[in-house]
Amino acid sequence: MRTTEPGARRAPHLTPLSMASFLTALLASATACAEEPAALDAIVVTGRRTAARLEDTPQRVEDIERTPTRELADLLKKNASVDVIQYPGNLSGVGIRGVRLEFSGINKRWLPLIDGRPAMSTNPSLVNLDQIERIEVLKGPASALYGAQAMGGVVNLITRESHGGVAGTGQISLGEFDLKELRGRIGGSLSDALDFDYAGSWFDRGDFSAGQGVERPNTAYRQQNHALRLGLAPALDWRLRAKTDLYRGRDIATPGDIAYGLNPAHARSLS
C-alpha cells in the first residue's frame, strides 16, 4: 500500500494519451521551424564585374525592380536619384554623381550595359523596357573596371530569362495627341533544353497641341522596338544563349526651342 507523507508534492502522472499529445505538439513545432523560408542574399553583377552579394560590394549599387514605365529615363529618374534630361523626339540623357548630362558625342561619362555588355546606344529612350527584369545602378567612378566612359557610374540592365510554361502579357494604349501604342512580351520553355523570350512594342503619336487649335510642329514620331532571346542547353553543364535587338524610328525630329515660337524652320530632323 502506497502512502504519502504530509507536505510532500505528488509527482505528475502521465497517461499514454497525454504523452501522445505532447509528442504530436513537439513534432509540429519542429516541422514549422524546418519549413520557415530563409532569406536570400541580393546578387549584383556590376560592382566587381562578377556575381557578388550586395553587402560585399564596395561601391554604391542600387537594385531597381522593373515598374510600369514607358521609358528607361523615367524609371531612373523616379527610383535611382540620378540626373535625367528629356527632349521631345525620343531623346534623353543621364548624369550620375554630378557628372554633366550627355546624350550624344563619343566621350560619355556614364556607361549603359545590357547583361553586363555595352549597350548599342547611350540614349535611354531607345531601350525596350519590356525585355528588362531589373536594373542595377552603380554610382561613382568605375573606370578601373569599365574604362573611361564609366567615370560617373554604370547602369546595368538585366533582361528576362523565362523558364517553365509559356506565358506573356499585352497592352494597348490610346491617349492625347492621337497617341496609339501596342506592346507585349512572351516567354518560357519550349522543351527541357530550349527556352525563349520576346518583347516588342509599336508607338505612334501626333504633334503636341499649343492651344487654340495650334499644333507644335515636328513633335510627332513613330517607333518600334523588338528583342528576342533564345536559350539552349545541349548538355547538363553547357548553355548557349543568343539575343538580338531591333529599333526603328520614323519621322523623328526636334521641334526647336519654344522661345523661337512655332516656326517649323527652327526644327531639325533626326531621322
pLDDT of residue 270: 47
Question: Is position 251 within any domain?
Answer: yes
CA-closest candidate to residue 161, choices 189, 135, 184: 189
Three-state secondary structure call for residue 152: coil
For residues 63 and 42, give the distance between their C-alpha atoms in angstroms, rounded to a whole number: 9
Q: Is the pLDDT of residue 75 over 50?
A: yes
Question: Is position 95 within any domain?
Answer: yes
For residues 197 and 130, give the distance between their C-alpha atoms in angstroms, rounded to a whole number: 10
Q: How many CB atoms lie within 10 A of CB 35?
A: 7
Q: Looking at the structure, do residues 134 and 54 belong to the same domain, yes or no?
A: yes
Question: Is position 7 within any domain?
Answer: no
Q: How confident is the model at residue 1 (pLDDT cuts 50, 70, 90)?
A: very low
Question: Is position 147 within any domain?
Answer: yes
Q: Looking at the structure, do residues 70 and 135 belong to the same domain, yes or no?
A: yes
Q: Is the pLDDT of residue 260 over 80?
A: no
Q: What are 232-256's pLDDT values in tens digits?
A: 998 888 999 999 999 998 888 777 6
Q: Where would I find the H helices in the chain? A: 16-35, 72-79, 143-146
As beta bridge partners, residue 170 has: 184
Q: What are 50-70's pLDDT values in tens digits?
A: 666 666 665 666 666 666 777
Q: Is the pLDDT of residue 105 over 90?
A: no
pLDDT of residue 217: 80
The last residue of a domain, from among 136, 159, 182 = 159
The last residue of a domain, from among 112, 130, 159 = 159
Question: Is position 249 within any domain?
Answer: yes
For residue 145, which phi and psi values (nearest 5 degrees)?
Answer: -100, -35
pLDDT of residue 116: 86
56-65, long-range: CB < 8 A, 24+ apart: 59/138, 59/139, 59/140, 59/142, 60/138, 60/139, 60/140, 61/136, 61/137, 61/138, 61/139, 62/136, 62/137, 62/139, 63/134, 63/135, 63/136, 64/134, 64/135, 64/136, 64/137, 65/134
Q: What are 189-233's pLDDT values in tens digits?
A: 999 999 999 999 999 988 888 777 778 888 888 999 999 999 999
Q: Estimate to the nearest angstrom the gap between the alpha carbon of 42 and the chain centroid.
A: 15
CATH number of the structural domain spanning residue 96: 2.170.130.10
CA distances in angstroms from 1 to 4, 14, 110, listed in the order given: 10, 21, 93
Q: Which residue has the cell 530569362?
A: 161
Q: Looking at the structure, do residues 138 and 176 belong to the same domain, yes or no?
A: no
Question: Is position 27 within any domain?
Answer: no
Q: Looking at the structure, do residues 178 and 152 belong to the same domain, yes or no?
A: no
Structural domain including 126 reads 46-159
Residues 6+ positions from 111 with CB-CB distance below 8 Å: 118, 142, 146, 147, 149, 150, 153, 154, 155
